[in-house]
Amino acid sequence: MVELMQMQIRLMERSDVPQVVVLWNEEAMEYHYQPFSVESFIAKFFEHDYYIAELLLVGVIDSEIVAFAAGCIGEDLPLGNVAGYITTVIGRRDRMQLHHYDALVQQLEQCFRERGKKQADILFFNPMKLAWNMPTVPSHEHNNAPGIDRAMPFYSTLKKRHYVERAMQCGMYLALGNFVIPEDILQKEQQAYAKGYAITMYKQAQHTGLEAMLQALNNEQWLNDVTRHAREAVPLVVAIQNDRCVGFAGPIVRESNGRAFFSGIGVHPDHEGHGLGSILFFKMIEAFQQASCQYVTLFTGSNNPAIRIYTKAGFRVEKQFAILRKELS
């Protein structure tokens, strides 16, 4: 057990869950994170594939749990051979000071070091995904916070501990029901058609080259997810040339909460420069609307040129998340 002034830091036990859930639902929801029940908290943190006891911590002052910290590591994760991921550090703002947050982060870092990690990351590759609600439409959600809110005391602690802000991710939202593809995108589609391309729904018996196209994009997750959905006949928007797949968007999945889910959008490198990516995106949004999805959420870097396409489609930025890293000595 580590003690710092009035706060003790210890490993979290399952018996602590009810207190931590109350803490989370009173404090984290201020930053638009979704609430937990005791059962959903246990499933998220204790029954997760990447659960490690040393990376679930609580801070205690006068026998009251006032802070919760979580992280994870995994050799099979992106950057997993060198990085430990910090999931969250949340505390009671009326009881916590910055040095208390600092002590929690320091203990997570120490665990990373002891397990051979060279850096600590706050990044969307973290598999312990924390869902958050749209500030302007609280009943609509996104399934993963890709970083942390700058308004959180946790952020100030990371900056003091020499974490470098590497990017800003924008969480974006579009309500469906009145979406219409802009005229200039339809014209761009006609221009692509004149070059021998077509944007259509994937037909396994007719279209070829899906797996080869995905392999050329060098994204293993896309390769696994999109080919699996295609085998299961889940709708997928594709760009084709002579019935051969040269790009994709989707799959087209309506989640139980009405949210549209897709794995990504990509165009084979040999077929870039014809506007296929933007056409695929707008056709995908149209397909979601036709599938009775209520809304679409996504996140993208604040400096990503694609943000102009998303804005053109009607998306708005709901929240921004900082991506940070520290090299561990």
Residues 97 and 45 in one domain: yes
Q: Is residue 202 part of a domain?
A: yes
Residue 139 above 60 pLDDT?
yes
Residues 93 and 158 in one domain: yes
> CB neighbours (10 Å) of residue 242?
10
> CB neighbours (10 Å) of residue 302?
12
* Domain range enclosing 242: 183-293
Q: What token pair was written down for 24?
A: 């989370």
Chain segment 193-224, per-residue pLDDT in tens: 999 999 999 999 999 999 999 999 999 889 99
Phi-psi region of 245 (alpha: psi -120 to 50; beta: other; left: phi over 0): beta
What lies within 8 Å, CB to CB, of 169 at 6+ separation is: 124, 146, 147, 299, 300, 301, 302, 320, 321, 322, 323
Cβ proximity of 35 and 25 under 8 Å: yes
Residues 11 and 154 in one domain: yes
What one-letter code names the amino acid at 147? G
Q: Is residue 308 part of a domain?
A: no
Residues 158 and 204 in one domain: no
70/89 Cα distance (integer angstroms): 7
Q: What token pair was written down for 28?
A: 């984290």
**What pLDDT does residue 6 have?**
83
Q: Mean pLDDT over residues 274-297, rounded? A: 97
pLDDT, averaged across the chain: 95
| Number of domains composing the chain | 2
Instruction: Say which CATH number the domain at 273 has.
Output: 3.40.630.30
**What pLDDT does residue 329 have?**
82
* 5 or 129, greater pLDDT: 129
Q: Mean pLDDT over residues 123-134, rounded? A: 94
113/326 Cα distance (integer angstroms): 12
Residue 4 above 80 pLDDT?
no
Q: Is residue 310 part of a domain?
A: no
Q: Is residue 316 part of a domain?
A: no
Where b means 16+ CB within 10 Å and e means fewer, 59-75 reads bbbeeebbbbbbbbbbe
Residues 188 and 235 in one domain: yes
Q: Is residue 94 part of a domain?
A: yes
Where b means 16+ CB within 10 Å and e means fewer, 208-232 reads ebbeebbebbeeeebbebbeebbee
Task: Write the DSSP string, 281-292.
Answer: HHHHHHHHHHTT
Residues 153 and 206 in one domain: no
**What pLDDT does residue 5 have?**
60
Chain segment 29-88, per-residue pLDDT in tens: 999 999 999 999 999 999 999 999 999 999 999 999 999 999 999 999 999 999 999 999
Q: Is residue 306 part of a domain?
A: no
257/96 Cα distance (integer angstroms): 35
67/89 Cα distance (integer angstroms): 7
Residues 164 and 55 in one domain: yes
Residues 226 and 198 in one domain: yes
Q: Is residue 303 part of a domain?
A: no
Residues 189 and 157 in one domain: no
Residues 31 and 144 in one domain: yes
Cβ proximity of 147 and 123 under 8 Å: yes
DSSP code, position 152: S
Query: What percent of the chain stands above pLDDT 90?
Result: 95
* β-strand pairing of 64-72 with 56-61: antiparallel
Q: Is residue 244 part of a domain?
A: yes
Residues 197 and 222 in one domain: yes
Residues 192 and 125 in one domain: no
Residue 3 above 80 pLDDT?
no
Residue 1 above 60 pLDDT?
no
Q: Mean pLDDT over residues 15-27, rounded? A: 98
